[in-house]
Structure 1
């Protein structure tokens, strides 16, 4: 009786995991379609790819698309498919890069809103397309640093043969010593602190301007404030994602089935959810982008006026 029950429980657990994976893949497919549509819309109008705000928005879309596609690593973990370490390093590199690119870009977008609201006369000078490309380069440079640190710590601890071994791929599999985990945690917390300070600074400064503004300026300021609030919420979810590996590592020491459940919930809440907000903030709330999106999706050639 005991053995049969265990087998039944194992089968139920397997079906549950498979159902979850199928649900995630459907959600991923929907998000990819939405993001790709928004990316194509971005290239439709010159006003978009010559404007810092939209260039940064497109950067989050590209990052989100790559991040969403790295869910293949999640599939390998669920089905216990081993990968060679060098291939696992590649997937972890993409995942780590995107995990930082999105929150850093959101921080930059909030600062752009701060300049637009609090320094309107200098906005055209400071927020050019050229400056936007420089900001994107800085964002990607900062985003790759945590992975480089993890990779260098790994190199200091293993021989070349380790990279030809087959492992169940996750970033945790590349953390071989406790001190390496502490260094990784310290980097995440440092990024977390800096981004929170910058978002709070933008929010407080825009509130000050909002209180002093009047008429049309007040409405514009309120709109900028709402955008920063949405960015802050989205950034909050992204930043929690930086902490989830440490939570999952602690849970793994307690119970493996609980670890599977926690990891599944974390992936939906803190990986996929914030990437659902990007289309909402700039895809639907932005009037110019919404007009262009309708023109592209519904093939309406008569809608060709976009407010600048």
Structure 2
């Protein structure tokens, strides 16, 4: 998450930016909330691993939006936050951010099994195993954030956790060890997710070419492609600091506008894709 504000905006500009971010966050969470209600109001969805993984992605995005928007607003309303509270917010935000690509990989694997191993799908992708997989996602997604906290405990005195800090990751975790950990985990996690997406897409593509009935296979192809697009948008947040540093010297007066647009495009807008991928495209959801 990148919620950094480097230059103080005037009151009108700060108010406008916060209204845009908060309004978009509320709209996205309202749409996603309707999907959550639809899921839990129909037992059919809770028996299908595909929809269980999807609704987990939606709920995860809702939590991420709440945390991300809260951190963004805090940079204006109260830039200095108790470091312990900031740790909780940043760790939860970083974990939910990391879980999104992992969940997309899981959804692609489920589609791969459904299309390429249809006779085994019911045995492999049971609701119980899906919930175990989701728990595993949270364990894996939490590891990098827990590593950050452990490093922080090793290099900072206990008094640090009662001090005030600027509440964003690069301020809370500024050491070289944190930066190395961040780079390593991002490379490992994203490489793994991309390998899974590319492999499942290619296998579904080959199956579609051999299949007499190409409808479901082609739809699975498009779904995995959309997962790839969503993952690309999520990965844009990794280059946001680089874009900020690159563009700032050319447009020093508009630096906060650049930061705002980068945050909007890389952190908020990708969360609109989740309801579009299934909520709009999926006939079962539309009928409900």
TM-score strictly above 0.5: yes
Answer yes or no: is 1:232 the counterpart of 2:228: yes
Q: What TM-score do you get using the length of structure 1 for normalisation?
A: 0.85
Q: What TM-score do you get using the length of structure 2 for normalisation?
A: 0.91
Partners in 1 of 2:248 and 2:145 — Cα distance? 24
**Cα–Cα, structure 1 residues 59 and 259, in superposed 2: closer, same or farther, change >3 Å?**
farther
- Contact kept in structure 2, 1:251 and 1:258, CA below 8 Å: no
- Matched residue, 1:77: 75
Q: Tell me the alpha carbon deviations over residues 233-273 of structure 1, each in whole angstroms, 9 at most, x when there is no partner.
A: 111112333x1465368569969866533432232222222
Q: Which runs of 5+ in 1 are unaligned?
A: 1-9, 293-308
- Matched residue, 2:155: 157
Partners in 2 of 1:75 and 1:138 — Cα distance? 32
Within-5 A mapping of 1:23-34: 23-34=20-31
Within-5 A mapping of 1:243-262: 243-244=238-239, 246-247=241-242, 250=245, 260-262=256-258
SS in 1 for 2:155: coil
Over the residues paired in the alignment, what is the CA RMSD in angstroms?
A: 2.2
Partners in 2 of 1:60 and 1:212 — Cα distance? 31
Query: How far off its partner does 1:152 sit?
Result: 1.0
Partners in 2 of 1:85 and 1:12 — Cα distance? 24
Aligned residues: 280
- Matched residue, 2:44: 47
**Cα–Cα, structure 1 residues 249 and 11, in superposed 2: closer, same or farther, change >3 Å?**
closer
Larger Cα Rg: Structure 1 or Structure 2? 1
1:274 to 270, 274, 283: 270
Within-5 A mapping of 1:130-145: 130-145=128-143
- Contact kept in structure 1, 2:101 and 2:190, CA below 8 Å: no
- Matched residue, 2:217: 221
- RCO (CA 8 Å, sep 6+): is it higher in 1 or 2? 2
Query: How far off its partner does 1:53 sit?
Result: 0.5
